[in-house]
Amino acid sequence: MNYEELLKEIVLSDERFVVMTAENRSAIRNIPECLGERFIDVGIAEQSMIGIAAGLALRGRIPVVHALSAFLTMRAFEFIRTDIGIAGLPIKLVGAFPGFLSEANGPTHQAIEDIALMRGIPSMNVFCPSDEEDMLIGLETILKSPRPSYIRFNDLESSVKHDNVFHTGRAEILSEGEDITILTYGTLFREANRAMRLLEAEGKSVGLINLRTLKPIDEETIINAAMQTSLLVTVEDHFLAGGLFSILGEMFLRHNVTCRVLPFGLDERWFRPAMLQDILECEGLTGEKIADKILKESEKYAEYIKV
């Protein structure tokens, strides 16, 4: 089953659902013929789509809206904040091609600040699945939540067998380690998993946590990892400012936690457009390059302890 098939099943079982798009049908090509009047394509008009969705939600509908992440979260931001956020309407925002998944598109089409924008809206949940299997596991829970939600759409093929139990705000713990714990979400999960295996081959005890939702985020699991491991690593295809690295900073200050953190992400710049594998190579975010940098950092820390 893929995203379109599961979405169709969920939507047909509940007449309150309405599927909308701003001329972004790549993941929902066969939905219109099944839903009839419950499918609406507004054209390239993201702001209008959010306004229409808010009106429908006020009349008891649950709109599931689709658009490119960059234009959904940035062009329509004020509409999302005001029409959806302030009213707390249960609209589901599905952002296509977020982060590195926009691949060869230039900075105008890159959504690498989308999480920062969406998590800043009170009551908004943020779901960042690591691949299509992970997305399907959480989809029904997210769609039936009474809260507004942003879904960072991800239809990559899975590299692991995921835990089928999904709770909003609960991370998936793939492994636990004493030397290093890697925290990640979304597109870069596969590379983080590869890095973990390479580090284990070097004799390191490595944990890997797929966070699944960044808002609410699994604070208990993260703080436990911070207390039990020597080095925390964050891996994300997002600006460091406002993303997971920032979330950890806010959380640790709030809970008076101190630990060593090594961040991987984009620092004050957009990425060079290319195919996904070339982007990973260029940005130093392949599993091999991540593992190599972590190994150097952990060795540097070991020397510091000896001094």
Q: What tokens were used for 58? A: 């006020």
46 is catalytic: yes
Rounded Cα gap, residues 52 and 58, in angstroms: 10
- Is residue 46 within 8 A of residue 22, CB to CB? The reply is yes
- Is residue 232 within 8 A of residue 263, CB to CB? The reply is no
- Is residue 30 within 8 A of residue 58, CB to CB? The reply is no
**Nearest CA-CA partner of 64 in 24, 11, 131:** 11
DSSP state of 100: G
Phi, psi of 285 (to 5 degrees): -120, 25
* Catalytically annotated residue among 46, 132, 172, 283: 46
Q: DSSP readout, 171-224? A: -EEEE--SSEEEEE-GGGHHHHHHHHHHHHHTT--EEEEE--EEES--HHHHHH
Phi, psi of 233 (to 5 degrees): -125, 130
Rounded Cα gap, residues 90 and 10, in angstroms: 15
Q: Which residues does the annotation mark as catalytic?
A: 46
